[in-house]
A = this chain, B = another copy of it.
Amino acid sequence: MATHKIHFLPAGQSVDVPTGALITDAVQEAQLEIQQPCGGQGRCGRCAVIVEGEGARRRSTIRISAEDIAAGYALACQTIIEGDLTVTIPEQEKIERRLVTDKTARKVELPFAYDPAVHQTVRAFQLELSPPSINDNLDDLSRLRKTLRQLGVEHLRTPVSVLRRMGETLRKTSWSPWVVLAFDAPDSDSAELIDIQADPIHLYGLALDIGTTTVTAFLVDLTSGEVKNQASEYNGQIARGEDVISRIVFASKGDGLQKLYDLVRETIDTLLDRLQKRTGVSPQQIYKVSVAGNTTMMHLFLGIPPESIRLTPYVPAANQPSTFRAHELDLNLYPLAQVDCLPAVASYVGADITAGVLASKLSDAPDLTLFIDVGTNGETVLGTNEWMVTCACSAGPAFEGAGVIDGMRATLGAIEEVWVNTNTYEPTIRVIGSKKPVGICGSGLISLLAELFVTGVVDRAGNFKLELDTPRVRQGQYGPEYVVVWGKETGHGRDIALNKVDVDNLMRAKAAIYAGFSVLADSVGVELEDVQQMLVGGAFGKYINVENAIKIGLLPDLPWDRFNFLGNTSVLGSYMALLSYDARQQIRAIAEKMTYVELSADNTFYDAFTAALFLPHTEINRFPSVAEIWERYSTKKGTPGD
């Protein structure tokens, strides 16, 4: 069989491998390091290398953009060697920067003045025991209990795995061991002895947000309360369905549930591995975990069949699943780490929302406040510190770039903002990473639709005006469309456009969210204009332009100073619950306080949805600021955008 020479850069080594080998085989042969967190399945994109030479055949191009391919990138695990090659293995940090899920990571402030003795239930400290003697022959455990009793611990639970190493540790430390206690509450006299060690123990915790699309983890120092590092990664389950419904369907077939259970663990392992590399903190040092996520994600995380969530009457198995030990959940952490799953309200209002409400401070708000977690499910909460109503309105994935031909996630090469010239209809765009564009992400789509609307390229029903004097509005493959970037300027050489079907999908998404607002307001007899504070959560929510969101009728027409864009409120709430027992109790109280409005119960939602299927809305007087702009164009040009 023919062999080929593979030359590695920057290492400078060469190896010979036979035809048909993968680049990862050659990397191994050369004894070089390459990241393969997905195990060489081409899912994670971490093994991207730059390939020079003709002898490379790409088996799959998942997780690698057209632009990257053009630049010579290939996934090492998916590339078959058929000739001599020069392969450059980028520095790991460079690869990581390619993945944009971490791009929003920034320093997280301590949410309150953290004092472990006041807030924390898991604590580590050193004990001083009196040694046994022939006249004081208490057994080790009773001796330990006695000392702990002097410290206020009356009831101590002792897992057998700790008992098994207690005796040796006590003697090795001359009766001065380090222990970790998990208290029932910060001031409780009941605790579980979850560790005993000879060396000083520094406690770490993990705040998790398991999103349908993205899993985010904060590694937290439980002594200072600070976020030591954070990481995000696409939820490995995406390959088995992009939204919760398709995940539920997948889980109900064969060993689907087990597969999804395993996949999210792989994702968490990837995050833990990355956090360990950055901080040196081992997952075995993590003693407490707080988990937020929507109800379906929580079921899948726990391995609980989610089937009933999608079947009438839409009832989940468990909204308040309580606390487990890490090893019971097959998590690669300290085995007795406490894993606290935050409470949900209903099938479509999960712990991501209860945690988010805490983080958003809606539950402290004296005035009428509206909270939305912008995402696939569009969960919305309306209320004050005294009452809350909530619903979920199935916006669909359009704002996340799915269901739109040239849509994409907010990664490198995504158009994130568009301005359309009122006279020429020529666009100006801003692209993430200053690269050639390859698609449009959520904020770009909102911006584009708003611009097309106010410049009159589309009318209030979302129909394109083909009669306009510009080559950018044309009859395309999928019907009328507007070309945002011509093929010669894109990363992949094809035109980037928004067509009628895309617009309809975006209209349905924004209409669903706005209809959710309306139904909630109606359900308690208030007007949306009375909302004093509009809180927008979701990693994506951080990048929405208020003006554009109002223009298309996605967000209600309120003065801009009432808007607050908070980022990932779910992980923030999870972080607060990790630090503070009181915060955890507040999330529970929030879950119990929320009244869930089931939108499928009658026609109210459908009517509101239909009314919102216009730009900005059938009743334009609901959007006075938009009406004003609209009026201006009408006055100036006759027909808007004419």
Binding site for B on A (CB under 8 A): 132-143, 157-161, 163-164, 166-168, 171, 302-305, 307-308, 312-322, 324, 328-329, 344, 346-347, 596, 598, 600-601
Q: A157-B322, A304-B167, A305-B167 are in contact. Are A139 and B328 (CB under 8 A)?
A: no
- Nearest neighbor of A311 in chain B, beta-carbon distance: B171
In the complex, what distance in Å separates the CA atom of A322 from the CA atom of B320?
A: 27
Chain B residues within an 8 Å CB radius of A140: 308, 315-318
Nearest Cβ distance between residue A275 and chain B, in whole angstroms?
Answer: 25
Nearest Cβ distance between residue A335 and chain B, in whole angstroms?
Answer: 11
Pick 16 A–B contacts, CB within 8 A, sort by A.
Answer: A132-B313, A132-B315, A137-B313, A137-B347, A139-B319, A140-B315, A140-B318, A158-B322, A159-B324, A160-B302, A160-B304, A160-B324, A164-B304, A164-B305, A166-B318, A167-B307
In the complex, what distance in Å separates the CA atom of A140 from the CA atom of B134?
A: 56
In the complex, what distance in Å separates the CA atom of A167 from the CA atom of B307?
A: 9
Chain B residues within an 8 Å CB radius of A308: 140, 167, 171
In the complex the two chains form, is A312's CB within 8 Å of B134's CB? yes
**Residue among A143, A160, A161 with most chain B CB within 10 A:** A160
In the complex, what distance in Å separates the CA atom of A171 from the CA atom of B305?
A: 13
In the complex the two chains form, is B163's CB within 8 Å of A313's CB? no
Nearest Cβ distance between residue A294 and chain B, in whole angstroms?
Answer: 14
Chain B residues within an 8 Å CB radius of A307: 167-168
Nearest Cβ distance between residue A139 and chain B, in whole angstroms?
Answer: 4
Chain B residues within an 8 Å CB radius of A302: 160, 163-164
In the complex, what distance in Å separates the CA atom of A305 from the CA atom of B321?
A: 35
In the complex the two chains form, is A163's CB within 8 Å of B318's CB? yes
In the complex, what distance in Å separates the CA atom of A136 from the CA atom of B161?
A: 43
Q: A160-B328, A160-B329, A313-B134 are in contact. Are A321 and B596 (CB under 8 A)?
A: no
- Nearest neighbor of A322 in chain B, beta-carbon distance: B158
In the complex the two chains form, is B596's CB within 8 Å of A167's CB? no
In the complex the two chains form, is B158's CB within 8 Å of A601's CB? no
Q: For A163, give its contact among B138, B168, B315, B321 (CB under 8 Å).
A: B321
Chain B residues within an 8 Å CB radius of A304: 160, 163-164, 166-167
Chain B residues within an 8 Å CB radius of A139: 315-320, 344, 346-347
In the complex the two chains form, is A315's CB within 8 Å of B160's CB? no
Chain B residues within an 8 Å CB radius of A598: 134, 137
Chain B residues within an 8 Å CB radius of A135: 601
3 closest Cβ pairs, A-B complex: A141-B318, A167-B317, A139-B319
Nearest Cβ distance between residue A3 and chain B, in whole angstroms?
Answer: 47
**Residue among A142, A143, A317 with most chain B CB within 10 A:** A317
In the complex the two chains form, is A133's CB within 8 Å of B318's CB? no
In the complex, what distance in Å separates the CA atom of A137 from the CA atom of B349?
A: 12
- Nearest neighbor of A339 in chain B, beta-carbon distance: B160
Nearest Cβ distance between residue A383 and chain B, in whole angstroms?
Answer: 19
Q: A158-B321, A160-B328, A164-B304 are in contact. Are A133 and B316 (CB under 8 A)?
A: no
In the complex, what distance in Å separates the CA atom of A134 from the CA atom of B602?
A: 10
Nearest Cβ distance between residue A167 and chain B, in whole angstroms?
Answer: 4
Q: For A137, give its contact among B143, B166, B596 (CB under 8 Å).
A: B596
In the complex the two chains form, is A163's CB within 8 Å of B328's CB? no
Known: A140-B315, A142-B319. 18 other contacts (CB 8 A): A132-B313, A134-B313, A134-B314, A135-B601, A137-B314, A137-B596, A138-B315, A139-B319, A139-B344, A139-B347, A140-B318, A141-B319, A158-B321, A159-B328, A163-B302, A163-B317, A164-B304, A166-B304
Q: For A142, give its contact among B142, B305, B320 (CB under 8 Å).
A: B320
Nearest Cβ distance between residue A159 and chain B, in whole angstroms?
Answer: 7
Nearest Cβ distance between residue A605 and chain B, in whole angstroms?
Answer: 13
Q: A312-B134, A315-B132 are in contact. Are A141 and B320 (CB under 8 A)?
A: yes
- Nearest neighbor of A318 in chain B, beta-carbon distance: B141
Chain B residues within an 8 Å CB radius of A157: 322
Nearest Cβ distance between residue A130 and chain B, in whole angstroms?
Answer: 12
Chain B residues within an 8 Å CB radius of A163: 302, 304, 317-318, 321
In the complex, what distance in Å separates the CA atom of A314 from the CA atom of B167?
A: 12
Q: A158-B318, A328-B160 are in contact. Are A305 and B137 (CB under 8 A)?
A: no
In the complex, what distance in Å separates the CA atom of A344 from the CA atom of B139?
A: 10
**Residue among A143, A166, A302, A315 with most chain B CB within 10 A:** A315
Q: A315-B140, A317-B139 are in contact. Are A134 and B601 (CB under 8 A)?
A: yes
In the complex, what distance in Å separates the CA atom of A135 from the CA atom of B600?
A: 11
Chain B residues within an 8 Å CB radius of A317: 139-141, 163, 166-167
In the complex, what distance in Å separates the CA atom of A600 from the CA atom of B135?
A: 11
- Nearest neighbor of A140 in chain B, beta-carbon distance: B317
